[in-house]
Amino acid sequence: MSRYFFRLCLALIASVFLTACGSVATVKTKALASLEKVSVATGIGSNPADPLEGLNRAMFSVNESLDAAVIKPVAQAYQTIAPSFVQTGVANFFSNAGDVWTAVNNILQGNVADGVNDLMRFAVNTTIGLGGLLDIASASGMPKHRADFGQTLGVWGVPSGPYVVLPVLGASTLRDALATPIDLRGGNILFSQVSTAARNSSLVLRIVDKRASALDAVNLIDEAALDKYVFIRGAYLQRRESQIKKDDD
């Protein structure tokens, strides 16, 4: 009797074990199939320019959370409270300050005429434009350019490397990430002689101003993009490529 009972128990255990194994295999198969569908739909892991996609998506999620909790609400408050002429003046001021670094990079890239134009813009807007609060240069026929050291390295032939997502700053590449500290310092030339508190305040105001100007565009991306990460990655990589190869067209 005891031997029969023991065999019966072994049979039951074996049956449960096999059933469980079968269930696990089924779940695993379905999970892999679902992951494959998601991969096809979103491009996860299929872009050779983004081998760090897992880490990038994690940082992207952190940035999105920070934006939703802090940066976006502050930018919305700024947009609501500050009069439009104040917002325009702030944007013009930082844009004017950036023209100096843009001029340096345009000259380094061999675009001497654009570099001279950028220096003239800075001179005109700083003097006649009340320290850059007014964009007199654009109205006078001097176009606005944008150039940074990451772009300069690209023009010099430095490869972009893999796509990376930086904390707070967002979309970048390895080349642009390495150039970012230089760009931040170069773009802050006008504030190099002021106190640390003043520099930090100007940086915060600059971030808020840029985020406020992008509120509508980001909202549109949120509504239209099936995968916001893939959309931003593609847009950034295409834009950087066009900026670096603009003279090849």
Q: What is the pLDDT of residues 145-167, one digit of tens each?
A: 999 999 999 999 999 999 999 99
What is the rounded distance in angstroms from the CA atom of residue 249 to the CA atom of residue 238? 15
Put simply, whether the predicted model's pTM sits higher than 0.85 gets the answer no
* Structure tokens given for 141: 């026929």
- Mean pLDDT across 114-140: 95
| Contact in structure between 101 and 189 (CB atoms under 8 Å) | yes
* Neighbour-count burial of 109, counting CB atoms closer than 10 A to its CB (0-12 exposed, 13-18 middle, 19+ buried): buried
Q: What residues pair up with 163 in beta bridges, in sequence order?
A: 173
Domain ranges of the chain: 1-42, 51-248
Task: Using alpha carbons, list the distances in angstroms from residue 128 to 32, 65, 121, 145.
Answer: 64, 42, 10, 20
pLDDT of the residue at 228: 94
pLDDT of the residue at 202: 82
pLDDT band of residue 9 (cuts 50, 70, 90) is: very low
List, for residues 185-221, the tens digit of each pLDDT value.
Answer: 877 666 666 677 777 788 888 899 999 999 998 988 8
User: Is the pLDDT at 74 greater than 90, yes or no?
Assistant: yes
Q: Give, as one character, the DSSP assignment of residue 135.
A: -
| Contact in structure between 133 and 87 (CB atoms under 8 Å) | no
User: Is the pLDDT at 179 greater than 60, yes or no?
Assistant: yes
The owner of tokens 């603009």 is 246
One-letter amino acid identity for 47?
N
User: Is the pLDDT at 17 greater than 80, yes or no?
Assistant: no
* Structure tokens given for 211: 């985020």
User: Is the pLDDT at 38 greater than 70, yes or no?
Assistant: no
pLDDT of the residue at 106: 96
**Out of 45-59, 62-76, 90-104, which region has the weakest mean confidence (pLDDT)?**
45-59
- For residue 68, give every residue at least 6 positions away whose Cβ sits within 8 Å of its Cβ, in sequence order, or none: none
User: Is the pLDDT at 222 greater than 60, yes or no?
Assistant: yes
- Dmax over CA atoms of the chain, in Å, equals 106
Average pLDDT, rounded, for the chain? 83
pLDDT of the residue at 19: 52
pLDDT of the residue at 45: 57
